[in-house]
Amino acid sequence: MHPEQILDYLLSQDQEQMQQLIKQAGQVRDAQRGRQIYLRGLIEISNQCSYDCLYCGIRNSHHHLTRYRLDRDTIIQLALFIWQQGYHSICLQSGQIDDPDWLAELVDIVAQIKIQTRQLDPEGRGLGITLSLGELSPAQYQEFFDAGAHRYLLRIESSNPDLFASIHPPHQSYDQRIECLYQLKSIGYQVGTGIMIGLPGQNAHHLLQDLDFFKQLDVDMLGMGPYIPHPDAPLYRSHKPVYLDPYLSTLKMLALCRITMPDINMVASTALQSMHPQGLQRGLEAGANVVMPVLTPDDVREQYNLYTGKKNSSGEKLLAAIRALGYEPGLYTWGDAPHYHKRLQHR
């Protein structure tokens, strides 16, 4: 699709045109990927965070938040439970970790999950493990990969350096994040990135730039969601204008990314589901093919409070909703993006 045409869709207020775009994206997903929606059991292993992103409810400076860290047994037992439920892929997520001992323990936890679930798997593959643990050193990324993690999610948040700088403190650098993404690729991870949509000061040109960035990075996975303000985070009090409707612009971006990158995996994000009662349905219609049920233990779930009104849909509810919408939950499979395998062949 020509950049002018993409911009036209992003700027348009025409409902009819938007419906057409979403319909086309759904058709591309159905033709290229079918109606299977892959599941990633999300375990939010800790809300401790050494970073201070200006938008985030678990940022380091949010002192009223009760902090937690799941222990080794809890994480491993949960992973085994998730396997038994038929979700053969998990995602371990946390705030930014600066404790080397805990990181070393997490590497061991990943290795243990792999060993134990491989023993339960007639094909010997075990659980697919995605990590979303923020910016680590190349050596740390490598250790996790060697332990058996094979996908990594690290959102760029905005690919525009000025916009990125406006939502992060000065010591969190754009260049560092880009470097991490390329390191992850060179190690051999399936790499996912993404953005928040509807940020103060963000406009359609920024989103066009993001789409171009995703293509240049040659991503395997995308996680995009609306920005949802958190009253205890500084961006809540931003005086910059909000140009984009976070919900509708997220749907448009999903559709545009599906049409232009048919073979990647794309999530109907928790933020999209939290923002609108039809977020799941509309996200899938717009071409998403991954959903991440929140399987964090009940007693700490509320403390992983990234934004106001975060919806923690249980696995069962999500499965039922996916089926009711006419899709098939992709159980007993990793559900990798074909893009990754094609990318490897062309290396």
Binding site for ligand SAM (CB under 6 A): 55-56, 58, 93, 95-96, 132, 134, 154-155, 157, 196, 225, 227-228, 230, 271, 306-307
Residue 96 or residue 140: which is nearer to ligand SAM going by CB? 96
132/140 with CB nearer ligand SAM: 132
| CB 70 to ligand SAM: min, Å | 14
Taking the least distance from each CB to ligand SAM, the nearer of 93 and 190 is 93
Closest CA to 255 of 14, 13, 37, 17: 17
The amino acid at residue 224 is M
Distance between CA atoms of residues 9 and 13, nearest Å = 8
HSE (side-chain half, CA atoms, 13 Å) at 326: 7
Provide the angle, in degrees to the nearest 10, between the axes of the packed helices 174-187 and 138-147: 40
Nearest to ligand SAM of 89, 319 (CB atom): 89
Looking up tokens 């240049």 gives: 216
275 or 319: CB nearest ligand SAM: 275
Quickly count: other Cβ atoms within 10 Å of residue 341's Cβ.
Answer: 12
In order, the DSSP letters of 187-212 are HT-EEEE-BEES-TT--HHHHHHHHH
- The distance of closest approach from Cβ of residue 269 to ligand SAM in the complex, given in angstroms and rounded to an integer, is 8
What does the DSSP 8-state code read for residue 60? T
Beta-carbon count within 10 A of 278 CB = 14
Instruction: Give 26 or 157: the residue with its C-beta nearer to ligand SAM.
Output: 157
Which of 335, 326, 301, 269 is closest to 86 using CA atoms? Answer: 335
CB of 197 to ligand SAM, least distance (A): 9
- CA 323 vs. chain centroid, Å, equals 22
Give the shortest CB-236-to-ligand SAM separation in angstroms. Answer: 9
Share in percent of the chain as helix, strand, coil (round to 5):
45, 15, 40
Helix (H) or strand (E) holding 330: strand 328-330
Nearer to ligand SAM, 88 or 155 (CB): 155
Tokens describing residue 228: 């949802």
- Closest approach of ligand SAM to the CB of residue 36, in Å: 25
Place of tokens 């730039």: 209
Least distance CB 329 / ligand SAM (angstroms): 24
- Largest pairwise CA distance in the chain: 57
For ligand SAM, the closer of residues 248 and 331 by Cβ is 248
Q: Rounded to the nearest whole angstrom, what is the least distance from the CB of residue 228 to ligand SAM in the complex?
A: 4
How far apart, in whole angstroms, are the C-alpha atoms of residue 252 and residue 30?
17
Minimum CB distance to ligand SAM, residue 55 (Å):
4
